Structure 1
Amino acid sequence: MTKTPKRLLPMAGHTAGKRSAVTCALKCDSACAKGVCNTSSNSYFRDIVSAEYSRRSLLGVGSAGALALMFGGSGAAPAVAGGTGGLAPAVKAQANKSKLKFAGIDGVPNTVDDVVVPKGYNWQPVIRWGDPLFDDSAEFDPRNQTPESQAGQFGYNCDYVDILEIPGSKGKRAVLFSNHEYTNENLMFPPDMDISQVRRTAMAAHGLSVVELERKGTGQPWKYVRGAKLNRRFLMDTKYELTGPAAGSPLLKTQADPSGRIVLGTQNNCAGGTTPWGTILSGEENFNQYFKVTNPSGEQRRYGLTSRNPSRGWHLEETRFDLDLPEGRNEDNRFGWIVEVDPFDPDSTPRKHTALGRFKHEGANVTIAASGHAVAYSGDDERFDYLYKFVSKGRYIEGDKKHNMTLLTEGDLYVASFSGNSPQNQIDGSGVLPSDGAFDGTGRWIQLTRDGKSLVPDMEIDQVLVYTRLAADKMGATKMDRPEDVEVSPHTGKVYVACTNNTARSAAQADEANPRANNRHGHVVELTENGDQAATEFTWKLVLVAGDPAADESVYFSGYPADQVQPVSCPDNLAFDSAGNLWISTDGQPGTIQRNDALYRVTMEGPEYGRVEQFMAVPIDAETCGPLIHDEDGLVFVAVQHPGEDGSWDAPRSLFPDYVTPGSTPRKGDAALPRPSVIQMYRGRR
């Protein structure tokens, strides 16, 4: 029997505070320990603005005039600090009238192993890693997990979450979707388990889950239903159909799939989105870490593939993950897409949409423009990478699901370019507000594809879509500080982008959209499209520059007094409630402000515009994922990912969510080890 090997940690000793080097290794293959993937020569926008500003100043033209001359517009948007968030009148009437009344909790130290909720609230799991989904599924037995047992159970490290009511159920039945980003084998399995069994079981713990829920009535907590007809696991042998202009390209053909149209499995799924027609989108993110390659090409290096053997060792179980072998040729190109799943059809084939481009998708969120086109926004979660938008060729038809499910197969892909409106000498990397009182400006969407054809010089359409990062490099997109979740406010139509952090940005690389050097805390960008979401120009501003006001003067909360907000760092996922408030979940606070990751509410209307309140905190080493706010129902949901990540099988640091004491007799189905779970929070007793 081969024992599970210990994992090398490239980020050990290089993370801040209590940030886990284990999380860095498992989530993104220690990306920050490597060189920056984006080595393109396209300018930071400050370089363009600085040169143009200096030249125009000599001619007596100010920065706003320079920008107008450069872009043919009227200059930057007026600075807005505080005041209105632009809510529609009906929503304004409900602003700050959410049913989720709570007193914000204090920050929870990063040594606490507990879910902390406001006074009067309670929490309980909806579903946990290992919970059996089907009538014939094996009961969870952590000492004897097998690929077959895991294939019938809820997967590991749940991330995106949505809960959709089953029509006609009167609020008593619903379907839950969640994806499973990655695994921590050192926590999941006994150290003496056969290594091949470990790998194959971990593979089965990746993927996606669809699970039916039930409850007694509106406002009551949910329970999952074992054996329900809609329950489904999407595994590494599940077939996915490739759609769009790159489907069938030689770049996507493999020895096992000479058609280039059918992919087995999905990897490293992070955030997601729910479409207006009721399907779920999931983003394939750090897929690079699963592949072995001895001499990566320039294209592969741009996507983070290295010559170091992947620690997960999947290439030793399936040769398609060994890119040095004929069986592995092009297999890496078949990951990094947006996946679409119909949770209401358990027999449907999930799809990977090439028209939306290939990169490290945090997720994708769709809105319907005034023109009727479906518009999908997506961030590329990498230091110095980009923000994208897709506009469908066809138009949305209310109630026609079959037609609407074709909307993401054809359309035009864009990447964002940002410009600021402040003198460049005031954007010095300190993060201190410029003299106009706001970080703001204008932007444009650079078109990469049109009507199934490439607009990028010297690149064919399949090259643009398979190597989208390189296409965006060529077209001069703005390098951002890890743009992750992108959400459209259902109340205003404005677009919000969570930029989690970027400690690799220097002062010389700072621009107004990314104004801090060594950006440990991140920020949130608000975009207002000029017209509707299908427009090609926008205005923007930073609504939140995160950090601890007590320790950092470069924080900003849309003009709200910084000494009256809870410290917040590393914004990752975003959501909205029925009153138009923005909710932010975090990933990385233990290493920046030494507090457990958490969920926050940000007021977006009235005199408290910009106020940040902490609603809850997750346990030690855990990340707050997939926030879902059903405030009209009195419920809040999050996925608690990688609790106790720094521990081991023999020495767990967390016992979430069952909190069984090691050495005691667990209740049936419980275990003395941490189990990533989707949890719900509500008023009242547990």
Structure 2
Amino acid sequence: MTERPRLLPLLGPAGHSGRDAMTCLYRCGNACDHPVPNESGNPYLGDVVRDGLSRRGVVRAGAIGAMVLGFGGSAAAATPAAAVPSAVPAAGPAPAAGRDRAGALTFKPIPPNKLDNLVVPNGYDTAVVMRWGDPVLPGAPALDVARQSADRQSRQFGFNNDFVGVLPLGRDGNRALLVVNHEYTNEELMFPGFTTLEAMTVGQIETAMAAHGLSVVELERVGHTGQWRPVRGKRLPYNRRITALRTPFAFTGPAAGSTWLRTAADPKGTTAIGTLNNCSGGVTPWGTVLSGEENFNQYFVGGDQAPAELKPKLARYGISTTARYPGGSRRWERAQERFDLAKHPNEAHRFGWVVEVDPSDPRSTPRKHTALGRLKHEGANVIVAKSGHVVAYMGDDERFDYLYKFVSKKRYLPGDRRHNLTLLESGTLYVAKVTGDSPAAEIDGTGKLPSDGAFDGTGRWIKLVSGDRSYVPGMTAAEVLTFTRLAGDAVQATKMDRPEDVQPSPRTGKIYAAMTNNSNRAVGGNPGVDEANPRANNKHGHIFELVEDGGDHTGESFTWSLPIVCGDPADASTYFGGYDKSAVSPISCPDNVAFDSAGNLWISTDGNALGSNDGLFATAIEGPERGHLRQFLTVPLGAETCGPFITGDDRSVFTAVQHPGEISGATLEKPASTWPDGDFAKPAVVVTWRLDGGPVGS
């Protein structure tokens, strides 16, 4: 057995799990330092069982300990509105001819490390596609941190990039539309001379608002390789910036126009301005992108002066109702009064939705779909059920919150794009309740497998609302959809360990959810362990596999198991599908998941609690290689690995390198990372491809 390299210590003060304190502040407003928002009395699964039942260098690494310095993806792309294909594969164009459908992963895993580089296996290369401040709109200026303004930033690539989607543009496979979320900003790493959030000028606040949102960028393939680059020129008809500053969004669905969404600026409750804290997302079969609004609570002040009847609802979403300025408040009310809940108490209800953007139509108005419920959405990913209905799976990224799914009222019609654009406007919303099949005494919090050799069980989808009809006593349909967390509490949904990205496998139809971590599990007075969340102080997280009964994604019952329980493979509390743990890579804090065309599961991490940089991993989830997890890349110091997106021909993998250098004490002038350009840290999207043109991973 090869000896594992000794991991180097973290370089900055750690927050919760492996996150730095700066990440905790800006990413989620120090959520882990606040009381758990879910104070419901729901029984956790353990109770049910007992009752009867997070360009600069590139390093290519081959053998452990042998590091080679080098420098350096395929995207699929979105078609013009008149030529959008009837169905856009979630992973891009069709697989290349000769693709090994068995899809065995053959790359040699890279070792854990603390390098300030992007590290990839030997035989691969990588390149930056877009970085913070790169021009998006024609005529946009280059990044100049001394001259940044809201106007300049509104035309440039935004700051921290999370979700990555790549959609086919044209039919030759050589053009694409890149769609990226810009989740949040690190003001210390953006503005020269930054001191405190309170001391920011209104102009700086507006610049930060313009750095949030989404970017749409046209790409072109580089030769016949797996590399991709932005198209440059005077005419870029698809390129677009969507921001928190001024972009209008239309509400759809049963809660649109409801009392909860009405404000002084929008008395009809049908149009919101901007989108906040967009985390992950998904690509629909009809060629649009879904984006999840997540930690929006940190942008609001004045919750202490909100109407008394609203305070419990605000608190359930993590908004302070006891302090005017919660710790880490961004003070955006100084630029736009709507962020002051003392004056505009309903404004917060206009965030926390799944957003749909049509990248093929730059003049279209993005929409917030109320039928999918309001929570801290990590994202939404859809699959077309056997019946033709569209099913979207979603996670609420908070300790002890829930898994959801939405089933459309209408059926997907291949070739009828106008019809398909309405599919997420009406349907049925469910929340998950799961049950383990092992005696409670065998789930002791250590991660030891029960006597049947697996953490597994059954579950059911509890109906919350269908169309305008509520199934939650005492709540109207509009109230269920606007305060979905409270509806989940009312029906006693199962409290999970931060359910983040949830993805259906395009090959098997099984559903995979990343449970990032929960250091509060079974700690103090918090809920204890259960078979679906089997470790106390779960700082490394796990993968949750869900199989709909009979393969019916519209059904109301399922089975589940935990194929991966993350951490150091040498730790007895970890599990990798039964595979020999001496041959797998250590992994901590799974965040986003994706699939290649062969059905291999790719996992990105956020907040590695093992002392190494975050990374991207891949494993088979079927057959004898199930659980043979290998590390494919690592990101630079302080960064989180986001995306990933593997193109349908499997020739490229896109990864978002979010918040490089996000380490306490770092500033723009004194960066903790100088990736990717050697001066100061810049979030960026990169593409990685095989030098011989073959499929990535295999």
Both proteins in one fold, TM over 0.5: yes
Post-superposition Cα deviations, 1:513-562, rounded to whole Å, max 9, x if no partner, equal 00011000000011000131001000000010000022x21100110011
Q: Distance in 1 between the 2:692 and 2:302 partners?
A: 53
After superposition, residues 5-84 of structure 1 pair within 5 angstroms as 15=15, 19-53=19-53
What amino acid sits opposite 2:317 in the alignment?
Y
From 147, 161, 166, the counterpart of 1:144: 147
Contact 1:180 1:206 in 2 (8 A): yes
| Pairwise CA distance, 1:15 | 2.6
From 198, 206, 215, the counterpart of 2:212: 206
Q: Distance in 2 between the 1:685 and 1:677 partners?
A: 25
Which residue of structure 1 lines up, in the alignment, with residue 435 of structure 2?
419
Q: Distance in 2 between the 1:525 and 1:348 partners?
A: 36
What is the TM-score normalised by the length of structure 1?
0.88
Aligned: 1:382 with 2:398:
yes
**Superposition RMSD on alpha carbons, in Å?**
2.0
Structure with more helix by fraction: 1
Question: SS at 1:367's partner residue?
Answer: strand
Aligned: 1:407 with 2:423:
yes
What amino acid sits opposite 2:250 in the alignment?
E
Aligned: 1:320 with 2:338:
yes
What amino acid sits opposite 1:46 in the alignment?
G
After superposition, residues 286-365 of structure 1 pair within 5 angstroms as 286-295=295-304, 297-306=311-320, 307=323, 308-309=325-326, 311-325=329-343, 328-365=344-381
Q: Distance in 1 between the 2:533 and 2:652 partners?
A: 34
Task: Sort the Cα spacing of 1:167 and 1:487 in 2 relative to 1 into closer, same or farther, 3 A.
Answer: same
Question: SS at 1:473's partner residue?
Answer: helix
Task: Sort the Cα spacing of 1:178 and 1:13 in 2 relative to 1 into closer, same or farther, 3 A.
Answer: closer
Contact 1:96 1:603 in 2 (8 A): no
Q: Distance in 2 between the 1:14 and 1:425 partners?
A: 34
Q: Distance in 1 between the 2:556 and 2:109 partners?
A: 39
Task: Sort the Cα spacing of 1:478 and 1:33 in 2 relative to 1 into closer, same or farther, 3 A.
Answer: same
Which residue of structure 2 lines up, in the alignment, with residue 651 of structure 1?
670
Contact 2:542 2:589 in 1 (8 A): yes
**Matched residue count:** 618
Question: SS at 2:637's partner residue?
Answer: coil
Which residue of structure 1 lines up, in the alignment, with residue 519 of structure 2?
503
After superposition, residues 279-678 of structure 1 pair within 5 angstroms as 279-295=288-304, 297-306=311-320, 307=323, 308-309=325-326, 311-325=329-343, 328-506=344-522, 509-531=528-550, 532-550=552-570, 552-589=571-608, 592-630=609-647, 632-646=649-663, 647-659=666-678, 672-678=679-685
Aligned: 1:178 with 2:180:
yes
What amino acid sits opposite 1:181 in the alignment?
E
Aligned: 1:97 with 2:103:
yes
Which residue of structure 2 lines up, in the alignment, with residue 5 of structure 1?
none
What amino acid sits opposite 1:235 in the alignment?
T
What amino acid sits opposite 1:202 in the alignment?
A
Q: Distance in 2 between the 1:394 and 1:537 partners?
A: 21
Aligned: 1:233 with 2:241:
yes
What amino acid sits opposite 1:119 in the alignment?
N
| Pairwise CA distance, 1:329 | 2.6
| Pairwise CA distance, 1:138 | 1.6
Question: SS at 1:186's partner residue?
Answer: helix
| Pairwise CA distance, 1:362 | 0.1
What is the TM-score normalised by the length of structure 2?
0.86
Post-superposition Cα deviations, 1:197-245, rounded to whole Å, max 9, x if no partner, equal 2211111000111110112444341111244110000122111000000
Task: Sort the Cα spacing of 1:489 and 1:633 in 2 relative to 1 into closer, same or farther, 3 A.
Answer: closer
Q: Distance in 2 between the 1:542 and 1:633 partners?
A: 27
Contact 1:412 1:452 in 2 (8 A): no
Which residue of structure 2 lines up, in the alignment, with residue 662 of structure 1?
none
Task: Sort the Cα spacing of 1:18 and 1:394 in 2 relative to 1 into closer, same or farther, 3 A.
Answer: closer
Q: Which blocks of at least 5 consecutive residues in structure 1 are unaligned? A: 1-11, 54-90, 660-671
| Pairwise CA distance, 1:633 | 4.4
Question: SS at 2:166's partner residue?
Answer: strand
Task: Sort the Cα spacing of 1:189 and 1:162 in 2 relative to 1 into closer, same or farther, 3 A.
Answer: same
Question: SS at 1:608's partner residue?
Answer: coil
Q: Distance in 2 between the 1:117 and 1:678 partners?
A: 15
From 190, 193, 202, the counterpart of 1:191: 193
| Pairwise CA distance, 1:167 | 2.2
| Pairwise CA distance, 1:179 | 0.7
Q: Distance in 2 between the 1:131 and 1:581 partners?
A: 33
Contact 1:621 1:644 in 2 (8 A): yes
% identical aligned pairs: 54
From 222, 246, 252, the counterpart of 2:261: 252
Moved more, 382-391 or 141-150: 141-150
